[in-house]
Amino acid sequence: MKTSAIAHGLLPLLGLLSIAARSQDAAAQAYTRDERIARNIEIGRRYFNEVWNQGDVTVLDQLLAPSYINHTPSTPNPPPGPAGLKPIVLAMRSAFPDLHYEIKDVIATEDAVVMRVVMNGTHRGVLFGLPATGKKVSVEQINIEHLRDGRIVEHWRVTDELELMRQLGAVP
């Protein structure tokens, strides 16, 4: 009788503890969501500031998943992972030694970051076969980065490439 009375008395207490634990789990999930969003924004900023603006392609080993896929239309089907993006970054920085991406807008979710940027630079080297023109360019882009476990797994970019070619004098 004594055992069942203790057990019976503990059941409501265990129920309250269970409700409290679920409330803490919900609060932790909300915090984790906000934390993931903040982390994704930071990864997006590092991607542009350290990789593209400073030219530190070694950072790609930290930011990109080994299976990273680049869906950029102007460079179709590059190899996956950081090794596929490093030559693209180096080629762009060679063509535009003063390359700078200015981040204008950032929208982030738990698994993605979208950044509207303006690419600025002076064309001082060969750009995918186009000889240096010495012209300054300023072109808008929208980049979508999908992330998993704190790394970019897929990338989509839309650049006003016609405007880029006009500014370089390659098309009227």
Q: What is the CATH number of the domain that holds 27?
A: 3.10.450.50
For residue 50, being part of any structural domain is answered with yes
Give the model confidence (pLDDT) of 58-97 as tens digits: 999 999 999 999 998 777 788 999 999 999 999 999 999 9
CB 157 within 8 A of CB 143: yes
Tokens found for residue 70: 């680049």
CA atoms within 13 A on the CB side of 165: 11
In 3D space, the residue among 65, 47, 155, 54 whose CA is nearest the CA of residue 103 turns out to be 47
Domain count for the chain: 1
Phi, psi values for residue 111, rounded to 5°: -130, 15
Residue range of the domain that includes 55: 2-167
Q: What is the pLDDT of residue 48?
A: 98
By three-state DSSP, how is residue 97 classified?
Answer: coil
For residue 142, being part of any structural domain is answered with yes
Residue with tokens 């790609």: 60
- Report the percent of the chain where pLDDT is more than 90: 75
For residue 172, being part of any structural domain is answered with no
Question: Residue range 31-39: average pLDDT?
Answer: 88
Task: Name every residue whose Cβ is closer than 8 Å to that of residue 54 and which is 6 or more positions away in sequence.
Answer: none
* DSSP at 132: P
Q: Give the whole-angstrom CA distance, residue 15 versus residue 5.
A: 16
